Amino acid sequence: MILSLKLEDELKKLNSTLCYQCGTCTGTCPVARVEERFNPRRIIDKIKLYGIDSVLNNEEIWYCVECFICMEKCPQNVKITEIFFKLYEEVIKRGIKKPRKYVGLVKAIYSTGVSTGAYGGKPEAFSGLILKKREKMGLPKPVVKEEVAKTIIESTGLNKILED
């Protein structure tokens, strides 16, 4: 509960309470255009009326593609996309959900330093095949410092998303 209150405060700073339900966000949202279950206006309204806990279990909050159009257009300067970010952070912190996409990204970056590593085969930033191709094209070997990513991810506890 205390956690939620602190978060409510942060959302207020992102102007969540200023929303007057004009629907501009939903009207300009590319996702809402093709996926009727997604409606940013309604999500902001629910947060305003019922609090954050009412949307954290909601699968649809993850449908946002972070294009920032709604935020650019909102007449009340509600930081809609950034409000979604806060919700995601809270969902992950509380362990409510571990979206497959983000688990994959954290895993790759944690073990190789870059997001393209760790897919298929053994985890490494750049496969031998890629390095050979690069050499043939006259491109240098990228020098990645893998352990830095590990240190940073552990420093914030984001590695917990990889547990069990």
* Residues near another protein (CB under 8 A): 30-31, 34-35, 38, 62-63, 65-69, 71-73, 81, 84-85, 88-89, 92, 99-102, 104-106, 109, 113-117, 126, 130, 133-134, 137-140, 142-146, 148-149, 151-153, 155-156, 158
Cα–Cα distance for residue pair 98/91, rounded to 1 Å: 8
Choose, by CB under 6 A, the member of 52, 56, 61, 78 that binds ligand SF4: 78
3-class DSSP assignment, residue 58? coil
Give the three-class secondary structure for 147. helix
Distance (Å, whole) CA 102 – CA 57: 17
CB of 44 to ligand SF4, least distance (A): 5
3-state secondary structure of 108: helix
Pick what 3 binds: ligand SF4, another protein, none; C-beta below 5 to 8 Å, kind-dependent: none
How far is residue 28's CA from residue 68's CA, in Å, rounded to a whole number? 10
Q: Contact between 37 and ligand SF4 (CB under 6 A)? A: no
Q: Does residue 47 touch ligand SF4 according to CB under 6 A?
A: no
Query: Cβ of 30: how many Cβ atoms within 10 Å?
Result: 12
What residue 133 binds from ligand SF4, another protein, none (CB within 5 to 8 A, per partner kind)? another protein
9, 36, 66, 163: residue in contact with ligand SF4 (rule CB under 6 A)? 66
Q: Record the tokens describing residue 97, joined without a space.
A: 């959900």
